Amino acid sequence: MGSISIIGTGNMARAIGTLAIAGGNTVEVMGRDQSKVDDLVEALGRGAATGKWAAAPVGDIVITALLADGVVPVVVEYGDALADKIIVDISNPFNATIDGLAHGEETSIAQEVAKVAPAGASVVKAFNTVFRNVLEKGRPAVFLAGDGTQAKASVKAFIESIGLRPLDVGGLKMAHWLEGMGLVTMGLAGNGVGHWDFALGVNEWGG
């Protein structure tokens, strides 16, 4: 299938990495804490490899599985090592009370990444509306947004390779509204649905 690099070693990195390996992809894991990188690579098993922090990722698709406030600084730190890569931001910048977004403007982490990304890099927002436990248990839809047609096609192909349904919502400006959907998902988990074992999706009826 494809070659994926994941920057981060947390729960989402583990969940996406596990699905990626099962889907026939190779996975490179990169993180500041080498012991956590080694542990995750061992857990993922065959098809996973250790990458060096801030070095050029092996994967054509680079998933930043990081907390929202860490994504832009890490992209800046990697700099030209991310040139010509497809950077996938999966973060949600919630405020402290989880009833709004941390940034007050109509922007998104993905859009801020695009401002600092090196030449030739493309940015796609994806996976931010899906809980980690749902990735482990089910096959939810994955909404994505981005400006690059080829970059989105590659991310869609990756999502399909891991058995999920990609749903394109449009250009990178839509990443702001995907972050809003992430907030709605949290609201549903705490209120209308009342648990974490669900995902947003699309129902279609024939005309």
Gap between the Cα atoms of 1 and 132, Å rounded: 23
CATH topology (fold) of 3-190:
Rossmann fold (3.40.50)
Gap between the Cα atoms of 82 and 89, Å rounded: 13
The torsion region of residue 194 among left (phi > 0), alpha (psi -120 to 50) and beta comes to left
Look over the chain and give the mean of its residue pLDDT values, rounded to a whole number.
Answer: 96
Domains of the chain, by residue range, sit at 3-190
pTM tops 0.85: yes
pLDDT tens-place string over residues 70-105: 999 999 999 999 999 999 999 999 999 999 899 878
pLDDT of residue 102: 92
**Is the predicted pLDDT of residue 206 greater than 90, yes or no?**
no
**pLDDT tier at 207, thresholds 50, 70, 90:** low
pLDDT of residue 200: 95
Q: Which of 104-108, 153-157, 195-199 shows the lowest mean pLDDT across its residues? A: 104-108
**Is the predicted pLDDT of residue 30 greater than 80, yes or no?**
yes
